[in-house]
Chain A
Amino acid sequence: MYAFKYAKAKSVADAATSIAADPDAKLLAGGQSLIAAMKLRLSQPSALVDLGNIADLRYTRIEGDTLVVGAMSTHAFVAACADVRKAIPALAALAGDIGDRQVRNMGTIGGSIATNDPAADYPAGCVGLGATIITTKRKIAADDFFGSMYETALEPGEIITAVSFPIPKRAAYIKFKNQASRFALVGVFVAETPAGVRVAVTGAGPGVFRVAEMEKALSAKFAPESVANIKVPADNLNADLHAQADYRAHLVTVMAKRAVAKASE
């Protein structure tokens, strides 16, 4: 790791001031992605602004028909939270299956979606549920937030403060894990939301994407057989030592079928 300066932010406003003052500074949440990247010298911030002490960013609450999760809520916190387990059990299960227990005790929702790892779980949950990302500057629909790998709509100095999830009628997330890293080789989040059925896929492509054909078929009939014969084209999918593109395309259909079955339980 290259040397850097370090400051603990006392509040979101304090963090916003520090981060605006130095274009090469970075926010630090749980550090579970950033510290690894810094060790590999893939990331060389001049300074870290640590959000770890801002207790007001660690909460979940029900607001009308949405569930709001503070940006610094750890994966373990979200997985165990009674509100989340009741309102959106699929989201609690998703958080409870990220990485391993030690990672879940540190890693946060804000850090995960700001990273937008192409195999991360939360992007599928956010897009699948039609979430809104709330920042210090604006509100961004999940559909507009996630770009291609590691790209998001965040501007320099913009801080995620919370994510707001519309509570769905039913939802489920199924991932086929990469056995070594436990990231998604392919993960599919299916939800029947007040705004319609949504199907979001992570791990398969360069970024999270929706499958319109599956959404249409599930709107007509929410059952596993509705998606059983819908294949996504392998053309733009990831191919690496873990899986070829056509295998990932195959897994999208299988995971979608299982997610619909689970959501229908």
Chain B
Amino acid sequence: MKRHLLSAADLTRSDAELVLETAEELRSLADRPIKKLPALRGRTVVNLFFEDSTRTRISFEAAAKRLSADVINFSAKGSSLSKGESLKDTALTLEAMGADAVVIRHWASGAPHLLANSGWVRSSVVNAGDGTHEHPTQALLDAFTMWRHLGSLDGRRVTIVGDVLHSRVARSNALLLQTLGAEVTLVAPPTLLPVGVEGWGVETSYDLDAALPKADAVMMLRVQRERMNAAFFPSAREYSRRYGMDARRMGTLQDHALVMHPGPMIRGMEITADVADSPRSVIVEQVTNGVAVRMAVLYLLLGGSESALGGTTDVAGDAGKDRTIEGADGSATAGGAA
């Protein structure tokens, strides 16, 4: 693993598989009476949120706490319109507090990249969603969910439907799923596919009905109703008719195919309530898996050994010694603050 997780492209296939395997081990913790490991005791994880996202923050917070890390939540005001708190000043504050990992959510694409490369902080940086760029832990939890249901993703077909243009989830998934050997098809109206998508190595289609019968998993992306005001599509009704997942379309899927959604859903827009609540839908499970995957990411970035549950006494101390470092500059955190 590299020292930071900024993009799904930072993960090699073996990195990604290690995260999934570690997440699987950690997920079993959810069934235990005491849902806590001492692995990151004495470590500090900062959730730095420049954009509101209660669900993502809670997921990271739960993940860090289950590994016994100290958690600091830091919400900074600001938007693309009013700059507000400067990333630099905030980063310098966190550095002074001695954060071991900074989980950052930001409205600006590239903000985690800037934080990791600016020299402002020495901690590991985890991208928890940046602008319309990436959301790598979401892609990991999506892959984890598929992997648990479908086994290896080699040769599996995953169809991602909706507002690809503005979706960080789509970007990270397109990268990670291909790393794991899956074939990705992006389905959207032409207005919501980015210029240059031909270079992503994925298939694209404007026709949802044609893509569904071959899919092993279908991921519905959130589509904001307001996009119609910028002429991305004529109306919510037309969007739903052409690109929404409803019972009829669900009926054309293979028996084993999964229906997924990164949340928060807009029921009736991209997905109907009966589909979201159907047995094929793994949307609730995605949330559970999110915690396990984020535990795995924090654990591995902060010096975890390959087996997360092995040797639970003084794990933090052992972890530093045992850690395999694959990233070029991984050495900076080896041993760490434990």
Same complex: no
